[in-house]
A and B are shown apart, each in its own frame.
Chain A
Amino acid sequence: MAAKPQLGAAQPRPSAVAALRAGILMGGLAAAMTLRLASGGAAGSTSQPAAVLFAAVLLALGLLSGWRPVRGSWPSRARGAGMGLGGATLLCALPLAHRLWVGVPAVPRPAWGMLLTWSLATFCVAVAEEVLLRGALFDAVRRTGAGEAAAVAVAAVAFAVIHVPMYGPGALPLDLGVGVLLGCLRVASGGVTAPATAHAGADLALWWVW
């Protein structure tokens, strides 16, 4: 049965509210990125305190926008985590194979004594980015009526663009492609667990396989 329209004060159209929410989230994302880079000082993107601050801001924005994790059953969460692990494996497999066959330049990695703090900071940033991009922003774009494909695209573009100041335009194609994969994991699993697992897994693997 269709709900009757409510009388009283005029309510904004849900799609307009969702579009506004998506715009605010993207603006907040840009501000959070600026805060991370400016507060990182000379360390820039390698600053762990700035990274943790960035993660906290993203989580706050996601929660303020009304995003909450889907209350799924344990089997569905396990399935999401499994999909995410598959995604992380895929992301690592090709570079690893290339490294084994061809060799790669030496990439600086943090000192071993920083493994624990580096892992925590990396995990927090990955999960927070997924909460905001594939959680809050994805939901907001989808609620505009644009559909899931548009939500995947917008989140992927935002994901790629926010990393340009840190890794340069050369990283844009990779982050765009990976952003689409993470969005597809969100669509296929129905929640953020899968993209967050894939994202954190690929980031953490950097220490071991790169």
Chain B
Amino acid sequence: MRRAARHRRAVLAAGAAAALAGWLATGTNAPPLYDSVGVAPPFRYVCAPAGINLSLHPAPNPATQTLPVTNGQSPGVGFTTDEVPIPQAQVLVQAGELVLPPGATAITVSLTPVVPPQILPSDGVLDGNVYDIPVTAGNVALPLAPGALATVVLRGPPTGKLATLEQFDGRTWTPLNSTPVGTADIFGANVTSFTTFALVLPGSPQTHAAAGCLPGTTLVAPGVSSSGSATSTASAGAGGESSNTALILIGVAVVALLVAGGLLLLLRSSGRPPPRSGGGRGRPSRRR
């Protein structure tokens, strides 16, 4: 009895030590357990607003993707920064909707968090980071085909307020027709050109950008990366490929689960003892 209790205490102590080691190895800013509906990592700032200590926040990740041109058509783009589980920036373009220069063999898409430009939105305050999103072939900025739309999605800090995606063309900020995407603090809008984007919260305009910015962040005054005006639209955007992929994954997962369930049932039946004569349950049958 006493031995069993001692064993139990030793097992629990070992478990506690493992949890402590895991917490220390993960970093002491970790939540109690990375396993809860709605656990999202902290927002990654380029420039910290008042009350935010940048040293407690990891830096946002820039991302670049190069995609090959096939059959003379621009490829579909479904590209995000690599913050997990919630990327902070995403751009979606359907295949064939970029105007390619002659001889283009690949396109390059970048999502770069940058220090805000000198010119700030006149209708509110920046909510999170400013992202420069150029789409190029070689060094040539690619415009969208006439009538084509791309979609830009940005995540903001956890304010719980409705933000608007705005586009900066090097001179002015233009609000886009924005909609919440999936979960709180993420907003998307359709765009007709690739320049610089940010979320903006309604309020008194900022007079200057936040003072504290990450050292080493690219200091740019974002300019126009491709021609075209920033007009907003409410129609559906790109992203058909990603939804198709999701449907395929769901189908594969359902089939795999049905197979797994069937196999588990088979194993259960094969693991049962053979039926006894007389069908008695729990009482051994007598030999005759």
Q: Mark B66-101, 1 if CB is under 8 A from A, else 0.
A: 000000000000000000111000000000000000
Q: Is A158 an interface residue (CB 8 A)?
A: no
Contact of A106 among B33, B42, B263 (CB under 8 A): B42
Q: Smallest distance from the beta carbon of B258 to chain A beta carbons, Å?
A: 9
Query: How many B residues are at the interface, by size bracket?
Result: 35 or more
Give bound CA distance, A17 to B57, whole Å.
48
Residue contact A34 to B253, C-beta cutoff 8 Å: yes
Residue contact B53 to A103, C-beta cutoff 8 Å: yes
**Contact stretch, chosen from B23-31, B104-112, B217-225, B229-237:** B23-31
B52 proximity list for chain A (CB < 8 A): 105-106
Q: A31-B253, A105-B57 are in contact. Are A118 and B37 (CB under 8 A)?
A: yes
Give bound CA distance, A176 to B23, whole Å.
10
Q: Is B250 an interface residue (CB 8 A)?
A: yes
Nearest CB to that of B257 among chain A residues?
A: A31
A110 proximity list for chain B (CB < 8 A): 38, 184
Give bound CA distance, A102 to B30, whole Å.
13
Q: A177-B20, A184-B12, A185-B15 are in contact. Are A98 and B260 (CB under 8 A)?
A: no
A203 proximity list for chain B (CB < 8 A): 32-33, 35-37
Nearest CB to that of A110 among chain B residues?
A: B38
Q: Is A100 an interface residue (CB 8 A)?
A: no
Q: A38-B253, A105-B57 are in contact. Are A118 and B38 (CB under 8 A)?
A: yes
Q: Smallest distance from the beta carbon of A153 to chain B beta carbons, Å?
A: 10
Q: A46-B183, A168-B84 are in contact. Are A173 and B26 (CB under 8 A)?
A: yes
Q: Smallest distance from the beta carbon of B225 to chain A beta carbons, Å?
A: 25
Contact of B31 among A21, A42, A107 (CB under 8 A): A107
Contact of A180 among B18, B32, B268, B273 (CB under 8 A): B18
Q: Smallest distance from the beta carbon of A47 to chain B beta carbons, Å?
A: 8
Residue contact B36 to A122, C-beta cutoff 8 Å: yes
Residue contact A45 to B39, C-beta cutoff 8 Å: yes
A188 proximity list for chain B (CB < 8 A): 8, 11-12, 15
Residue with the greatest number of chain A CB neighbours at <10 A, chosen from B18, B249, B274: B18
Give bound CA distance, A47 to B186, whole Å.
14
B33 proximity list for chain A (CB < 8 A): 91, 174-175, 178, 199, 202-203, 206
Q: Is A161 an interface residue (CB 8 A)?
A: no
Residue contact B261 to A104, C-beta cutoff 8 Å: no
Nearest CB to that of A203 among chain B residues?
A: B36
Contact of B12 among A25, A83, A126 (CB under 8 A): A83
Give bound CA distance, A169 to B116, whole Å.
31
Residue contact A174 to B22, C-beta cutoff 8 Å: yes
Q: A28-B257, A41-B182 are in contact. Are A174 and B158 (CB under 8 A)?
A: no
User: A11-B270, A34-B252, A108-B184 are known contacts; what are 11 more A-B pairs with Cβ within 8 Å?
Assistant: A12-B271, A28-B261, A35-B253, A37-B249, A45-B37, A61-B261, A107-B42, A170-B26, A171-B30, A187-B11, A203-B37
Pairs A–B under 8 Å by Cβ, sample size 25: A24-B260, A25-B260, A28-B256, A32-B253, A34-B249, A35-B254, A38-B249, A44-B86, A45-B37, A46-B182, A61-B264, A91-B33, A94-B20, A108-B40, A111-B160, A111-B184, A126-B35, A167-B35, A174-B25, A174-B33, A177-B18, A180-B14, A180-B15, A188-B11, A209-B32
Task: Identify the 10 closest CB pairs spanning chains A and B, nearest first.
Answer: A177-B22, A184-B15, A42-B182, A168-B84, A105-B42, A108-B158, A180-B18, A171-B34, A173-B25, A28-B260
Chain B residues in contact with chain A, CB under 8 A?
Answer: 8, 11-12, 14-16, 18-23, 25-43, 52-53, 56-57, 84-86, 153, 157-158, 160, 181-186, 245-247, 249-250, 252-254, 256-257, 260-261, 263-265, 267-268, 270-271, 273-274
